[in-house]
Amino acid sequence: MNFCEGCNIACNDESCPKCGRKKLRAVRADDFCLAAQVHRMVGDNLKADLQSENIECVLRPYGTGVNSRFALPLESYLLYVRYQNLEYVRQILRDANF
């Protein structure tokens, strides 16, 4: 499994599927990897649920500049988790239809 340090994406490809970067390295268990984009309301609850299972996660606000221009919260989060928990968290999201 390869890892793009610029996008924090773990992938099987030889280049990053998001930015196209070809200089990837082997992913490590403690790398924070992009797991999903989730709605703001879902993200807050999901973070609490993951923390209750001792899974480290980071939510980064994500969305359009229109909300930023009017000082409104962005509508989505990018959810990052450690690579060692990535498949487990993705399965939780699939099971919950997120």
Three-class SS of 17-62: CCCCCCCCEECCCCCEEEEEEEEHHHHHHHHHHHHHCCCCEEEEEE
The tokens of 66 are what? Answer: 């229109």
Check residue 75 and give its pLDDT.
84
The radius of gyration computed from the CA coordinates of the chain, to the nearest angstrom, equals 14
pTM: 0.87
Residues of the chain with pLDDT under 50: none
Check residue 67 and give its pLDDT.
59
> How far is the C-alpha of 55 from the C-alpha of 81, rounded, in Å?
8
pLDDT tens, 63-77?
A: 776 656 666 677 899
Check residue 69 and give its pLDDT.
62
